[in-house]
Amino acid sequence: MSGPKTHSWIKDLNVYSVGISKTVHAQNPIKLSANESPLGPSPMAMKAYKEAATNLHRYPDPTYNELRSTLALKYDIDPGRIVCGVGSDEILKLACRAYINPGDEVIYVSHSFSMYPIATKSVGGVPIEVADVNYTANVDNILNAITDKTRIIFLANPNNPTGTYIPISEVERLWKNVPNNILLVLDAAYAEFVEQDDYDAGIDLVERSTNILMTRTFSKLYGLAALRLGWGYACKEIADTLDKVRDPFNVPSSAQVAGVAALNDDQFEKKAIAFNNKWLKWLSSELSKLGLEAIPSVTNFILIKFKCDIKTACAANDYLLNHGYILRYYSGEDLDDCLRLTVGTEQQNQQVIALFKEFMEA
């Protein structure tokens, strides 16, 4: 049968693997696999979302003025250089659409966000994966991979799925050694959680650069994953370029108003950060006590490494699924000796540790 022929690079494209959200063993499984907020969305965001229902017949503000000015106020940045998207995923894709020709190279670190190769290949780019060191991005490895075909470098800082980060001094060293014709994307989806003094999402670097795009999301700390809202910050030229390739009404009004409300809900934000910090520490220490390696995380999840051949990640995953707990398992991938656990509610955290204990001691 013949029909329309797609690009060769689209034929080879794998769809994003989302992990499972159901298990045959439990009616209401506990999903700790997608780094979603255990506290739900901010109450103020929910209220704003509900109120938006009366305006569903109107097209959204195509320039999302209120959202941009709220972000500008909160972070002391220029509203004219903020781009909003359908999740930060869309911003990553817009960057590829705007800057990649078929055959151009895009560098990212191994054990990193799986959207990078997908966004790269969707426009015919060539993904170049470089090795990490101890599950952490390595600046020298990235620099060594640069060729005259490199157009974009994606750096998730902190990184998903490993939870690690590199200090802002290392990000700055990277930027200083990257030729100015290469776009450096600092994907800071978990920035809000990080409490380490040597971390910074990169706003100050953006201010000093003409080749950095920082991306952020409302899906993680703010608990608005369902609304698909993210934003990016760059110099005027990059921001204007991304604006040209996006759809005019890409961000729905419901997401815009909920995002504004979430940004203004300081109480929820503080509570969510403190909650995460407390349970991240507790989970990491309990897992270590059980002889598991909890890769040091600054995010709302932990990559857990199984160190022996008898108690494997695969068997643990089955055990947890049987008891109604879904974690992220990387079946058939390089990380198949690991499970990724998202910080849950107090009860979920205690139960999941109890299950790990049963499994390890059985």
Q: Which stretch binds ligand PLP (CB under 6 A): 136-144, 217-225, 290-298, 302-310?
A: 217-225
Q: Which two tokens stand for residue 217?
A: 């999301």
Contact partners, residue 148, CB within 8 Å, separation at least 6: none
Nearest distance from C-beta of residue 187 to ligand PLP, angstroms: 5
Q: 318-337 mask for ligand PLP (x: CB under 6 A)?
A: --------------------
Q: Is-cis flag, bond preceding 4, omega within 30? A: no
Q: Contact with ligand PLP (CB under 6 A): which of 71, 185, 186, 189?
A: 189
Within 116-155, the residues that bind ligand PLP by CB under 6 A are none
Could you say which of 113, 135, 165, 356 contacts ligand PLP (CB under 6 A)?
A: 113
Binding residue for ligand PLP (CB under 6 A) from 217, 284, 297, 317? Answer: 217
Residue ranges in 56-144 assigned as alpha helix (H): 65-75, 87-99, 115-121, 139-144
User: Is there a contact between 174 and 109 (Cβ–Cβ < 8 Å)?
Assistant: no
The count of C-alpha atoms lying within 13 angstroms of the C-alpha of 207, restricted to the half-sphere facing its C-beta, is 9
CB proximity list for 48: less than 8 A, separation 6 or greater: 257, 258, 260, 261
Q: Which residues contact 288 (CB under 8 A, 6 or more apart)?
A: 294
Minimum CB distance to ligand PLP smaller for 159 or for 317? 159
Of 37, 70, 160, 348, which one interacts with ligand PLP (CB under 6 A)?
Answer: 160
What's the closest the beta carbon of residue 222 comes to ligand PLP, in angstroms? 10
In our burial notation (b when 16+ CB lie closer than 10 A, e otherwise), range 276-287 reads bbebbeebbebb
The answer to whether the beta carbons of residues 161 and 186 sit under 8 Å apart is no
Asked if residue 29 binds ligand PLP (CB under 6 A), the reply is: no
Strand bridging mode 229-233 / 212-217? antiparallel
Q: Which of 187, 200, 265, 286 binds ligand PLP (CB under 6 A)?
A: 187
Determine contact, residues 90/216, Cβ cutoff 8 Å: no
Indicate the residue among 99 and 231 with the shorter CB distance to ligand PLP: 231
Q: Contact between 88 and ligand PLP (CB under 6 A)? A: yes
Residue, CB closest to ligand PLP? 87
CA distance 339 to 321: 12
CB of 169 closer than 8 Å to CB of 203: no
Min. distance of Cβ 188 from ligand PLP in angstroms?
8
Q: Which residues from 41-70 bind ligand PLP, rule CB under 6 A?
A: none
Q: Given the rule CB under 6 A, which of 82-90, 100-108, 165-173, 197-205 is the region that contacts ligand PLP?
A: 82-90
Q: Which is nearer to ligand PLP, 108 or 175 (CB)?
A: 108
* Candidates 50-58, 61-69, 81-89, 202-210; binding stretch for ligand PLP (CB under 6 A): 81-89
Question: Which residue lies nearer to ligand PLP by CB, 150 or 215?
Answer: 215
CB of 156 to ligand PLP, least distance (A): 4
Q: Is 243 exposed, middle or buried (0-12, 13-18, 19+ CB in 10 A)?
A: middle
Residues that bind ligand PLP (CB under 6 A): 87-89, 113, 156, 160, 187, 189, 217, 219, 225, 230
